[in-house]
Amino acid sequence: MALSEAHAGRSYPPTPVYEITAAKISEFANALGDDNPAYRTEDPLAPPTLVAMVAFAAWDQMFADRELELELRRVIHADQRFSYVRPLRAGDRVTATLTIEKVRARGTTEIVSCSIEVHDQGGDVTCTAASTLVHSREAA
Amino acid sequence: MNVSPLDSSPIEVGSELPPLTVRLTRASLVRYAGASGDFNPIHYSDHFAAKVGLPGVVAHGMLTMGTALRVVTDWVGDPAKVTSFFVRFTNPVVVPDDEDGAEVSFTARVIAVESNHVSIAIEASSGGQKALGAARAEVDLG
C-alpha cells in the first residue's frame, strides 16, 4: 500500500549517532560563505541550518520505507521550519528521529508533513526540523 | 527599548537589517553538496536536471535558506540567539555553468518586537523571481 493518510503517526528509529566536529562546522560555514566568528572558535557553534545535515539521514529512512513507495526524484521540498532549543556545537553527539505527522492525498499528489527531533547525547531535544514535502506519483 | 546588537540604533517594527547579495556558482553548489551531504544530482548535473523537467541545475533550497539566515546572524552577531527559522521554497535558483552563476539578494526587516523577542521577515530574490516565501526568523536578544 502506497503512502496514505493512514501513515500519519508513523515514526522511525533514531538515526545512527552523528558527532558534530569543528572541522565539519568550518566546512559547512565556508559552504555558506559565512564568516561569523562563532563558527571558528576553540569551541565552535554550528550554523543553525547545519541541522539539515543531521535531518537528511532521517529523511532517507522515510524514503527507504518501501511501503510508502516514495521516489526521491518526485519529491519537492515545499517548506522547512527549524525550532531551536539550543545551538549544536562541536562535540555534540546527535541522533534524529522522524515522525510522519500528516498526509494529505489529492489525486496523484501526496503532501507529507514530517517532523524530526534532534536529540543530544543526554537525550535532550536540541532542535525540531519540520518539513512539508510534496510527492507526485506517475499517473496510472 | 531594544537596541540593535551590532550598532546603537533602536529596534522597532519596520527596522531594516543590512541587506546581503551573494553570487552562487556551480562551485558553490559542489561545495555545499560536499559539506551537507546532499548529493541530489539536480544540484550538479544538467542532464539530470533536464530529465526531471527543471530549467537547469538549481541551488539546494537549504543553501538558499542557510544563506538567508546570514542576514539575521550577521546582524545579531551570536547565532545562538536564533530560536526559529521558517521558509517556503517558492522558485528554485537556477545556477548556470559560467563564471557569473546566479545572484541572490536578501533583504530583511523587523515585523514584531515583544520584549527581547524579535520577529524578522526575510525576502530572497534571484533573476527577478522570489526564491523564498514567507521566510521568518525569530531571535531572542535576552
Cβ-defined contact of A80 to B89 (cutoff 8 Å): yes
Sequence spans of domains, chain A: 5-136
Model pTM greater than 0.90? yes
Is B1's pLDDT higher than 80?
Answer: no
Is A1's pLDDT higher than 60?
Answer: no
* Residue B93: C-alpha distances to residues A80, A129, B20 (Å): 17, 22, 16
Return d(Cα A6, Cα B66) in angstroms, integer.
33
- Contact residues on chain A for B89, CB-CB shorter than 8 A: 76-80
pLDDT at B132: 97
What does the block give as the cell for A106? 489529492
Q: Which of A30, A32, A36 lies nearest to residue B67, judging by beta carbons?
A: A32
Is A61's pLDDT higher than 60?
Answer: yes
What letter would DSSP give residue B116?
Answer: T
3-state DSSP assignment of residue B33: helix
Backbone torsions φ then ψ of A73, nearest 5 degrees = -70, -10
Mean pLDDT on B34-57 = 93
Read off the pLDDT of residues A63-106 as tens digits, 9 standing for 90 and up.
999 999 888 878 889 999 999 999 999 999 999 999 999 999 88
Chain A's closest residue to B36, CA to CA, is A53
The CATH homologous superfamily for domain A5-136 is Hotdog Thioesterase (3.10.129.10)
pLDDT at A140: 46
Backbone torsions φ then ψ of A86, nearest 5 degrees = -155, 155
What letter would DSSP give residue A44?
Answer: P
Is B94's pLDDT higher than 90?
Answer: yes
Mean pLDDT on A96-118 = 95
Cβ-defined contact of A76 to B89 (cutoff 8 Å): yes
3-state DSSP assignment of residue B30: helix
Read off the pLDDT of residues B2-45 as tens digits, 9 standing for 90 and up.
666 666 678 899 999 999 999 999 999 999 999 999 999 999 99
Amino acid at B140: D
Is A50's pLDDT higher than 50?
Answer: yes
2-21 in B: which are within 8 Å (CB) of A? none
What letter would DSSP give residue B55?
Answer: S
The residue to which cell 538549481 is assigned? B58
3-state DSSP assignment of residue B142: coil
Indicate which of B86, B136, B139 best probes the interface with A, i.e. most A CBs within 10 Å of its own CB. Answer: B86
Q: Write down all domains in chain B, each with its CATH number in brackets.
A: 16-140 (3.10.129.10)
What does the block give as the cell for B98? 559560467
Query: Taking the CA atoms of chain B, what radius of gyration do you get in angstroms?
Result: 16
